[in-house]
Amino acid sequence: LAEHGHSLALSAEAAGRVIRYEAAVAGGIPVVKALTEGLAGNEIQRVLGVMNGSCNYILTRMEDAGLTYEEVFAEADGLGYLEADPNLDVGGIDAAHKLAILASIAFGTEVDFASVVIEGIGAITIEDIHAAADMGYRVKLLGVAQQTGRGLEQRMTPCLVPANSPFGQLQGGTNMVILEGGDVGQIVLRGAGAGEGPTASAVMSDVLDLARGLRLNTFGQAATGLVKSQPAMTATTAPFYLRLQLLDKPGALAKVAAVMGEAGVSIDRMRQYGHDAEQAPVLIVTHKTTRAAIDQILEDFTKTQVVEGQPVALRIEAV
């Protein structure tokens, strides 16, 4: 701009808009403009996204190379894919920031990061990756925001998604956001998840808008018009994937089934793989249930004295 004789002074408000926009685009994908401009006439029903390229790289690399989480984490760190504080990436915090901003724009609510349910990918093992693939799923750090009758639901957690879905086919350090609107159905936005080029492209798009005299509100409306969100106390129901290590002795599985039955959680399917150790790896997929019920059975499993270690529970998301 300077080379062509243009003068551009950013006000604090405009500078803030550029920063917020760059933070919300998920690595260069123009999600904000899609929401505030292209989909302005739609009632947004749900926002879903893989919004951290580093996490997607780690999870897909584990599957492709058969490496452990620790091995791929070290590899990603060596390649410079992780923040100085890696937990911002693998802990889901960076992606949760983006989700909270997009939810605010999509639903006209004040940004409420404190109400985002956040869980990182550190507990995901190569066994989970292989088991998910065996059942037709892939593991993704997935953000979901939707306005329900119970309030605004926001979560950034590892989930199982169908392998043949758009998210399931997303490889490497790539991001994807799906916007669901009342009139347009699903809009899929996909692009590079990190790097100076995509980031610069996103920021310059905003800078050029200012140079052209286009001054749209950051959130699609005046910030003073945003309403305080009512966080959903409970998430929508869904099937869950459970991975347990059971003592290989008679009656162990019956005790687990009894705990699930008492909590009202029914089993859709179950697998047990061959093993040489005293613990038997058992995988269970439940019918639709609540996260609260899953948390209750995980707590009660420890009382059975047949479950070794910490069980893993992953939501299976319909996408």
Residue 62 DSSP one-character state: H
Strands 117-118 and 151-162: parallel
Q: Which of 33, 98, 288, 303 is catalytic?
A: 98
98 among known catalytic residues? yes
Please check whether residue 160 is in contact with residue 248, taking contact to mean a CB–CB distance below 8 angstroms: no
Question: Whose structure tokens read 């869904």?
Answer: 238
User: Rounded to an integer, what distance in angstroms lies between the CA atom of residue 300 and that of residue 298?
Assistant: 5
Q: Which residues contact 118 (CB under 8 A, 6 or more apart)?
A: 91, 92, 93, 96, 155, 156, 157
CA-CA distance, 52 to 310, in Å (whole number)?
Answer: 26
3-class SS string, 157-207 = EEEEEECCCCCCCCCCCEEEEEEEECCCEEEEEEEECCCHHHHHHHHHHHH
Six-digit token string for 142: 């997935």
Q: What is the CB neighbour count within 10 angstroms for residue 310? A: 13
Active site residues: 98
